Structure 1
Amino acid sequence: MDHPHRDRPPILAVANLGKSYAEGLQRRTVLADIDFTVDRGECIALIGQSGSGKSTLLNLLAGIDKPDTGDVEIMGRSIAAMGEPELTLLRRAHIGFIYQFFNLIPTLTLAENIGLPLELNRTPARERRERVGDWLARVGLDGREAAFPDELSGGEQQRVAIARALIHDPALVLADEPTGNLDARTGQVVLDLLAHLFRDEGRTLILVTHSRKVSAIADRILALDNGRLTTASEALSW
């Protein structure tokens, strides 16, 4: 895949990242000496066995958790020294999230769920309605604005979650097992949608997955083994 923006700073730069947690009187190292960059328009698959540190790394990249060592830069801005208000604004403006269990708000309609990032960013109501309608059409749910999440299948809910993650045009999207809660056929539909939206539109995605099929859409695979990055070929069986 060509990356026309390689002359710009990377979307994401991770340097010497480390994280450990207390377990009784000991400390357990979850991540150590993590270094990598992600260019604009890249799709990165992050693989590894359960407990290898994938979710911890994703939380550190989003500023949800703080590292013990190292730093994360998003669009050239270090997040290590940011307070929670500044981190919240950064996430609202520049990061989109896709979760395994969708995380839609059950009391909100599809239009309200998808439009939530725009509302938080104070996008005018008319523009919000237009963009929500456009995204519903793009994920194959045109005309379902007034439906509620419990009226949808799992695959349809995940398509709504993808629209919500992308509607504010974030610089970086973090996806945690986006097909992990779906059957094989429905997961393939969601995977095809993700591949189209990211590969064809040049968006930047970090994708945590256990699935070889899902990781196959990526430009590059990063593998975690006992808290350290390794090449995909050296990763433990997954």
Structure 2
Amino acid sequence: MVPGTPALRVHDVHKVYPEGDGKSEHRVLEGVSFDVAQGECVALLGRSGSGKSTLLNLLAGIDRPDQGSVEVMGQPLRRLGEPALTLLRRRQIGFIYQFFNLIPTLSVTENLALPLELNGTTLRRGLPRIHALLEQLGLERRAEAFPDQLSGGEQQRVAIGRALIHEPALVLADEPTGNLDVETGEQILELLSALFAGRRQTLILVTHSLTVSAIADRVLTLEHGRLVAADRSLAW
């Protein structure tokens, strides 16, 4: 990848879904354009129904725009077939979900090992990296625990670790504190800030919360499928 190339480039993206009997349509995104630099933390801020989740799916290549283009690390997603998109997500993208999405039958260590194994690194070879990250996450004593033995905050820490363990260039976080109480959510935000402060990874935070968006370098506000000036969000 050429130095200086944006981690993300979104140009004139539109997304429309049919409604009801198919004779009407819902315009979810209309002409969205923005760039995100490598190593930048950007919050996508908006109310429910503003198009945040749809945009996140387009950035991940899970869905495709009806018009416009998305580039991830210099690769135009429209040129990639499903096998290539799967490899891109596996190698270059980490995901942090609101509801954790940990595999219940795997221990903390095994959940973190999964992205490594999918990329060809065995558990044995990956253990030093896993142990180092668990220490950063404050979970070194929970390495052999299973998800149902963890608190919500601990599960989200594991989810963050799973998103970072394979050192992806881009991390997409969908309401990372949305399923946590206020105090635990604040702890997770502090952890995210600390983890990304020393990394060159790009972080996209999708949120409806001004508190969450405050940790970002820049805020992009979505209203009714369009980007609006960031200062308008402060009136919510």
Same fold, TM exceeding 0.5? yes
Give the conservation status (yes or no) of the 8 Å contact 1:225–1:236: no
Matching residue's letter, 2:84: E
Alignment of 1:64-103 (within 5 A): 64-103=62-101
Equivalent-residue separation in structure 1 for 2:202 and 2:123 (angstroms): 27
Report the Cα offset of residue 144 of structure 1. Answer: 2.0
8 Å CA contact 2:14–2:29 kept in 1: the answer is yes
Q: 1:35 aligns with which of 33, 36, 39?
A: 33
Correspondence for 1:10 = 6
Instruction: Tell me the residue number matched to 1:188.
Output: 186
Which residue matches 2:139? 141
Give TM-score, length-normalised by structure 1: 0.94
TM-score computed with the length of structure 2 as normaliser: 0.95
Q: For 2:88 and 2:175, how far apart are their aligned partners in 1? A: 23
4+ runs of 1 displaced by more than 6 Å?
Answer: none
- Distance change in 2, residues 1:36/1:23 (3 Å): same
Structure 2 gap ranges (5+)? none
SS at match of 2:172: strand
Amino acid corresponding to residue 11 of structure 1 in structure 2: A
Q: Which consecutive residues of structure 1, in runs of 5 or more, have no partner in the other structure?
A: 1-5
More helix by share: 2
SS of equivalent residue, structure 1 residue 80: helix
Superposition deviation, residue 237 in structure 1: 5.1
Instruction: Name the aligned partner's letter for residue 34 of structure 1.
Output: V
Contact 1:11 1:38 in 2 (8 A): yes
Tell me by how many angstroms 1:126 deviates.
Answer: 2.5
Alignment of 1:1-238 (within 5 A): 8-24=4-20, 25-235=23-233, 238=236
CA separation in 2, counterparts of 1:43 and 1:192?
Answer: 14
**Superposition RMSD in Å:** 1.4
Amino acid corresponding to residue 72 of structure 1 in structure 2: V
> Residues 7-32 of structure 1, C-alpha deviation per residue, up to 9 Å, x if partnerless?
51011111111100000211110001
| Offset from partner CA, 1:59-100 (integer Å, 9 cap, x none) | 000000111011111111111121111100000000000011
- AA aligned opposite 1:200: G
- 3-state SS of paired residue (2:90): helix
C-alpha displacement of 1:42: 0.6
Is this contact kept in 2: 1:42–1:204, CA < 8 A? Answer: yes
One-letter amino acid of the counterpart of residue 177, structure 1: E
Taking the aligned partners of 2:3 and 2:126, their CA distance within structure 1 comes to 33
Q: How many Å separate the matches in 1 of 2:80 and 2:143?
A: 36
The secondary structure found in structure 1 opposite 2:142 is coil
Alignment partners' CA distance in 1, 2:197 and 2:42: 11
Alpha-carbon distance in structure 1 between the residues aligned to 2:196 and 2:123: 27
Matched positions, count: 233
